[in-house]
Structure 1
Amino acid sequence: MQRTIKHIVFVLLLAVAFVSCNDGKSLQTYFVDNQEATNFVSQDIPISMVKIDDSKFTEDQKEAYKSVKRLNFLGYKVEGTEAEVFKAELAKVKTILSDKKYNDLMEFSDKGNKIIVKYIGTDEEADEVVIFGSANELGFGIVRVLGNDMNPDKMVTLVNAMQNADVDENQIQDIMNFFK
Structure 2
Amino acid sequence: MQRTIKHIVLVFSLAIAFVSCNDGKSLQTYFVDNQESSNFMTQDIPISMVKIDESKFTEEQKEAYNSVKRLNFLGYKTEGTDVEVYKAELAKVKAILSDKKYNDLMEFSDKGNKIIVKYIGTEDEADEVVIFGSAKELGFGIVRVLGNDMNPDKMVTLVSAMQNANVDENQVQDIMNFFK
Q: TM-score, normalised by structure 2?
A: 0.93
The reply on whether 1:63 has 2:63 as its aligned counterpart is: yes
Structure 2 partner of 1:83: 83
Offset of residue 87 of structure 1: 0.4
Tell me, in whole angstroms, the C-alpha distance in 2 between the residues paired with 1:21 and 1:27. 16
Structure 1 partner of 2:28: 28
Offset of residue 171 of structure 1: 1.0
After superposition, the C-alpha distances for 1:133-163 in whole angstroms (9 at most, x for unaligned) are 0000000000000000000000000000001
After superposition, the C-alpha distances for 1:107-143 in whole angstroms (9 at most, x for unaligned) are 0001110000000111110010000000000000000
5 Å-filtered alignment, 1:161-176, equals 161-176=161-176
5 Å-filtered alignment, 1:1-180, equals 13-180=13-180
After superposition, the C-alpha distances for 1:52-109 in whole angstroms (9 at most, x for unaligned) are 1101000000000000000000000000000000000000000110111111000000
Tell me, in whole angstroms, the C-alpha distance in 2 between the residues paired with 1:49 and 1:10. 50
What number of residue pairs does the alignment pair up? 180
Report SS of the residue matched to 2:164.
Answer: coil
Tell me, in whole angstroms, the C-alpha distance in 2 between the residues paired with 1:162 and 1:50. 12
Tell me, in whole angstroms, the C-alpha distance in 2 between the residues paired with 1:118 and 1:140. 16
Residue ranges of structure 1 left out of the alignment (5+ in a row): none
Tell me, in whole angstroms, the C-alpha distance in 1 between the residues paired with 2:18 and 2:27. 21
Report SS of the residue matched to 2:79.
Answer: coil
Offset of residue 4 of structure 1: 9.6
Report SS of the residue matched to 1:163.
Answer: helix
Deviating beyond 3 angstroms after TM superposition, the runs of 4 or more aligned structure 1 residues are: 3-15
Tell me, in whole angstroms, the C-alpha distance in 2 between the residues paired with 1:11 and 1:38. 44
Report SS of the residue matched to 2:55.
Answer: coil
Q: TM-score, normalised by structure 1?
A: 0.93
Tell me, in whole angstroms, the C-alpha distance in 2 between the residues paired with 1:146 and 1:35. 18
